[in-house]
């Protein structure tokens, strides 16, 4: 090889080495960024605003998506039977933390791993569902935030009675496929009994079943309705349920505000933005090395009562001043 060619070759090799160093450093840095697996039974579009709250919880504690943490999303798009497979994918990827952001997702994640820390959101009682053995000392690899949904049944029923005082029989629309169904139903029945009300339970899950449930409520001349908490109702059946309540002119109270912003009459329940912010905080703590045993299950501490005055007028109802004064928000 001639001297000039040798010098050129050595120069090229040196330049390639210099260029390779930042590339290698960048690859090493990216590899060091922890990954949070986010498992959910619904769709990304439905959770867009709550994901912002989750990211805020992470960033408030030093983890910014795309810089100091990566989030690997797995959406089941309403096909809950896919959740075990999606959970297994996250375990195989060896994510640092898994967020199970509804009951079915949390249960699938727990079944998939006994070592990767899991943060859940849960309505219907995480102890009763078998997610944890205790709220104060969760044990195992699972902790999270309880939505306190079932225990709010008495409050929702009392608000309905204030609005429709003549109603002695209250309908309960409840999803029998919700893993928390039995507990939520019992909470509602106990609350109705304590208030001297009768509860007509209408289990329904599919579109056809929900149509039939409303027809049955109307035939029975039920004067008011409480809609139970449940992921299918909130994310997939919400518009149908709100439309049927309007069609049959049945005043209804719902578990979360999304029903009211979709045209429902009233809601009383957990402020979900707080819930997902707290989930982000817990995920960040686990990324920093906190032990699950040191993170007790949080219970929802802030609730909102929302009234849609436009819907009330369409139903021919006048909202009592007492309820308007209690409301955190009135949609006029």
Task: Sketch out the chain's domains with CATH numbers.
Answer: 30-147+271-301 (3.40.50.2300), 150-270+304-331 (3.40.50.2300)
Confidence bin at 226 (pLDDT 50/70/90): very high
Contact between 297 and 137 under an 8 Å Cβ cutoff? The reply is: no
Over range 174-201, report the average pLDDT: 92
Instruction: Name the DSSP letter for residue 92.
Output: H
pLDDT digits (tens, 9 = 90+) for 155-187: 999 999 999 999 999 999 999 988 888 888 999
pLDDT of 46 reads 84
Distance CA 59, CA 121 (A): 19
pLDDT of 28 reads 42
Confidence bin at 31 (pLDDT 50/70/90): low
Q: Inform me whether the pLDDT recorded for 249 exceeds 70.
A: yes
Q: Do the strands 303-308 and 266-270 form a parallel or antiparallel pair, or are they unpaired?
A: antiparallel
Q: Inform me whether the pLDDT recorded for 13 exceeds 60.
A: no
Q: Inform me whether the pLDDT recorded for 5 exceeds 90.
A: no
pLDDT of 150 reads 58
Instruction: Name the DSSP letter for residue 237.
Output: S
Q: Do the strands 198-203 and 169-174 form a parallel or antiparallel pair, or are they unpaired?
A: parallel
pLDDT of 200 reads 96
């Amino acid at each position: 090889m001639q001297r000039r060619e040798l010098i050129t070759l050595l120069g090229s090799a040196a330049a390639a080495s210099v260029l390779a160093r930042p590339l290698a450093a960048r690859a090493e840095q990216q590899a060091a960024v922890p990954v949070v697996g986010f498992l959910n039974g619904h769709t990304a579009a439905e959770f867009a605003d709550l994901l912002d709250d989750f990211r805020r919880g992470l960033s408030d504690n030093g983890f910014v998506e795309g810089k100091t943490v990566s989030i690997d999303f797995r959406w089941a798009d309403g096909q809950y039977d896919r959740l075990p497979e999606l959970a297994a994918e996250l375990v195989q990827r060896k994510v640092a933390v898994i967020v199970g952001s509804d009951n079915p997702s949390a249960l699938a994640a727990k079944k998939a791993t006994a070592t990767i820390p899991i943060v859940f959101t849960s309505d219907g009682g995480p102890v009763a569902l078998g997610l944890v053995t205790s709220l104060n000392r969760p044990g195992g690899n699972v902790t999270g935030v309880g939505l306190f949904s079932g225990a709010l049944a008495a409050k929702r029923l009392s608000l309905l009675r204030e609005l429709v005082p003549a109603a002695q029989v209250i309908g309960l629309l409840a999803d029998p496929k919700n893993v928390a169904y039995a507990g939520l139903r019992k909470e509602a029945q106990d609350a109705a009994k304590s208030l001297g009300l009768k509860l007509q339970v209408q289990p329904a899950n599919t579109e056809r079943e929900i149509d039939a449930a409303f027809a049955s409520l109307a035939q029975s001349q039920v004067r008011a309705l409480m809609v139970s908490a449940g992921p299918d109702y909130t994310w997939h059946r919400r518009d149908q349920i709100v439309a049927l309540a309007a069609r049959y002119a049945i005043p209804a109270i719902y578990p979360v505000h999304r029903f009211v912003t979709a045209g429902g009459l009233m809601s009383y329940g957990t402020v979900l933005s707080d819930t997902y912010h707290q989930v982000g905080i817990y995920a960040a703590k686990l990324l920093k090395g906190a032990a699950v045993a040191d993170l007790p299950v949080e219970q929802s501490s802030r609730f909102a009562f929302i009234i849609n005055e436009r819907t009330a007028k369409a139903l021919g109802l006048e909202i009592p001043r007492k309820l308007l004064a209690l409301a955190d928000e009135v949609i006029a």
